[in-house]
Amino acid sequence: GQQLNQSPQSMFIQEGEDVSMNCTSSSIFNTWLWYKQEPGEGPVLLIALYKAGELTSNGRLTAQFGITRKDSFLNISASIPSDVGIYFCAGRRNAGNMLTFGGGTRLMVKP
């Protein structure tokens, strides 16, 4: 079953606000990925993390690989309406293992 707990499940924020979401597990993962899914589309990779403690940015998005390797965080600064979508975390334990996905965080942005 699903082994990644992603929170919050949904967020409704005002344009311009910063957003934080996280993903936790009781198991260690060696790769963390963050995806965004827009309505009617497949998930698109935003950020990939490969080392504990790693902090990586992609524009206004910043993701961190937790030091314990059991969690990861995604922050979006100065949100805009096009940030709307579902954000998924995904983790992999070892090379060749399958990805495990979190349940997603649905982000809604009010202009």
- Establish how many alpha carbons lie within 13 A of residue 61's alpha carbon, considering only the half-sphere containing its beta carbon: 17
| C-beta of 39 vs 111, nearer to other proteins | 39
35, 93 contact by CB (below 8 A)? no
* 40 contributes a contact to other proteins by CB under 8 A: yes
The piece of 12-20, 55-63, 73-81, 88-96 that touches other proteins (CB under 8 A) is: 88-96
| C-beta of 42 vs 111, nearer to other proteins | 42
Cα separation, 85 vs 47, in Å, equals 16
| C-beta of 26 vs 98, nearer to other proteins | 98
* Residues 6 or more apart in contact with residue 82 via CB below 8 angstroms: none
Cα separation, 87 vs 84, in Å, equals 9
| C-beta of 31 vs 64, nearer to other proteins | 31
Residues that bind other proteins (CB under 8 A): 1-2, 4, 6, 9, 31, 33, 35, 40-45, 48, 50, 88, 90, 92, 95-99, 101-104
